[in-house]
Structure 1
Amino acid sequence: MNDLPDELLLQRWQQDDKPAGKELYRRYFPVVRRYFYNKAGSDECDDLVGATFLRCHQGLQTFRGEASFKTFILKVARNVFADHCRRRAHHRKHLAGVTPSSDEVSARDLAKSPFSIVADGQQARLLLEGLRTLPLEIQELLELFYWEELSGSEIASVLEIPEGTVRSRLKSARRQLTERLEQLAGSPEELASTLSDLDGWARKIRAGMNRTPE
């Protein structure tokens, strides 16, 4: 089962083959968990992962294979998180009488820093915190690029925007991340070390999050 391609497993799962669904869950649990990892609190992350796979199963018959299963399940995760953010925003409005606009809300506004840091080094902690201070849409874009290593067309599919827009937004997003890291860094040396190898630190963080369920 574990040597079958996603497409065949998906076809079998659509026909109610439970072992095929279990194998897709095993493969994509780390992907979905990474999506939520730096956006939600540790007490919320597992619930959001579970809700994503449940909604994915409920929507199986709507998937026609126009894109990869990875982009499909990331779209589902994105919708689950959007619903989560709306609930949190409604709660904040109820408590404070005001709701910030969606382009102002960051992960740091929504939840405390999740879990223990998953990669060694102050540079990894700096990168995680820098991402969390950005508006959620920018954080999401950068994490899809750095952590999931998606192509421009794949990111466009997940975010449902033109590929050209992805390229222009990535350029702006990298600039904003650099500005946040400059504000957060404890020393010029720490900043230089982080900025010199963003791809490398992102890979180390990704490796630390790759916990697969038993």
Structure 2
Amino acid sequence: MATERDEEDAACLAAWRAGDQAAGQRLFARYYEPVARFFLNKVGDASADLIQRTFLACLESLPRFRGDGTFRSYLFAIAYRQLCQSYRARKGDRIDLTSVSAFALDPSISGLIVEREETQLFLAGLREIPLELQVALELYYWEQCSVAEIATALDVPAGTVKSRLHRARELLRAAIERLAARGDLAERTIDGMETWARAVRERCLREQA
């Protein structure tokens, strides 16, 4: 079921295709922050270049967009491809992004600086799980994407998204337990994962305001 945001996006997209450049600028302005959050906790200083590449690729591929999904799922699909291409350009084409984590790809990236121990542990845990699972979980928690939107973004069936989200939560819990300095900290972080995810989103919004 289309939301009010989806309908507004569709109207802007139609106007943009009809030649209204201001409509395209409104779409880009609306989704700059979500795309920036997408690259958060994954690529560090390289995020600015990938954000630019994502919007450029969106502009170039717009004539081929058939409207099968929402505009934001289409944009996140482009962002995911840009992320994968960036990693493969640096690490080699044979890298398996279905099993390797963002931490394994680049341990030096610290991501967002937060105060709460639970939020720090939550972010660190996300970087320890396979990249494709991290992406699915962050789209679900940070962007409140539906299963259908995540399926479009990752180019997989909806059933696969559901199984990935389930597996991602299991691996995230295990990573948090492994990384936690204390058992009570791990327990609080696991029990309040949605709270810490919301805190990260709100922190991103404040920093990007």
Fold conserved (TM > 0.5)?
A: yes
Distance 1:14 1:213, change over 3 A: farther
* Residue pairs, 1:177-192, within 5 angstroms: 177-192=172-187
Counterpart of 2:124 in structure 1: which amino acid? E
* Equivalence for 2:3: none
* Equivalence for 1:68: 70
What is the rounded CA distance, in whole Å, between the counterparts of 2:98 and 2:153 in structure 1?
18
What is the rounded CA distance, in whole Å, between the counterparts of 1:188 and 1:64 in structure 2?
50
* Equivalence for 2:142: 147
**2:157 matches 1:162:** yes
What is the rounded CA distance, in whole Å, between the counterparts of 2:132 and 2:57 in structure 1?
22
**2:109 matches 1:113:** yes
Q: Given that residues 30 and 211 in structure 1 are in contact (C-alpha distance below 8 angstroms), is that contact kept between their aligned partners in structure 2?
A: no
* Equivalence for 2:49: 47
RMSD of aligned residue pairs (Cα, Å):
2.1
Which of 5, 10, 13 pairs up with 2:8? 5
Distance 1:207 1:38, change over 3 A: same
- With 12-21 and 71-80 compared, the bigger mean Cα shift is at 12-21
What is the rounded CA distance, in whole Å, between the counterparts of 1:45 and 1:59 in structure 2?
21
Counterpart of 1:38 in structure 2: which amino acid? N
Counterpart of 2:24 in structure 1: which amino acid? G
**2:82 matches 1:126:** no
What is the rounded CA distance, in whole Å, between the counterparts of 1:162 and 1:189 in structure 2?
37
What is the rounded CA distance, in whole Å, between the counterparts of 1:100 and 1:78 in structure 2?
15
Unpaired segments ≥5 residues, structure 2: 1-6
Query: Percent of aligned positions with the same letter in both sequences?
Result: 37
Q: Given that residues 40 and 112 in structure 2 are in contact (C-alpha distance below 8 angstroms), is that contact kept between their aligned partners in structure 1?
A: no
1:115 deviates by: 4.6
1:146 deviates by: 1.1
Distance 1:30 1:86, change over 3 A: same
Unpaired segments ≥5 residues, structure 1: 94-98
Distance 1:213 1:20, change over 3 A: farther
Counterpart of 1:9 in structure 2: which amino acid? C
TM-score, length-scaled by structure 2 = 0.89
* Equivalence for 1:81: 83
